[in-house]
Structure 1
């Protein structure tokens, strides 16, 4: 399994951050690996809501079905699956005294079948991707706030 974690300061309140990030279709704006993310079904975003996420990583395109598993006032957990991987995005939010939010973003990937063999070789690439997410996410949240 590969686990990457980043602490990211967001220039918004906890409520604004959770409200923005709970709709996983916004991953198109803040996740450099996401090519397309479309909601499956309708209705309010709550645990059980799903999205089809098309991602490009290391020159390959893959699709995962993501589900919102946990929606708490200061925590979101998404689980994405396909035949070769289960990806879990665990986001924990903490208000800071200066009006910003500290987001602890933890992504874990558990590969299945033959894909497990590639795990040691992919860690460095996922670390780079996590760095890119950490750079893009504050700008995406700010842009949404200014709309």
Structure 2
């Protein structure tokens, strides 16, 4: 979200009330309470959707994109036929990177343009627990493992 804001994008997020303060702190422009409202009824003609859930959320997201927009799928299967039908692009997020990308990200962070939100620093032997916290969405931010 911070990288999107840094690049000048308007950022819209869906969340429960327990996450509103965090999202406002990291610069989200509009937060939609997914317990009370359906984002696809409020959001239209966006350039990019970052889909961290897949499934039903992905199915509901196609209509929010403008023609030629892009859905970036983080988990599960990407429904390519739905993307074609909506006139948009769907891409799978991969963990590929190169040293130039990492150097640029490090520079951006070092300049303070984006600030990682570190919620926990744990010893390496607690990596399994850290992963479990992350997968259960019980951390709003980064968990750092000390080596």
TM-score if structure 2 supplies the norm length?
0.26
Task: Work out which structure has the larger RCO, using CA pairs closer than 8 Å and 6 or more positions apart in sequence.
Answer: 1
Largest Rg, 1 or 2: 2
Kindly indicate which of the two structures has a greater share of residues assigned to helix: 2
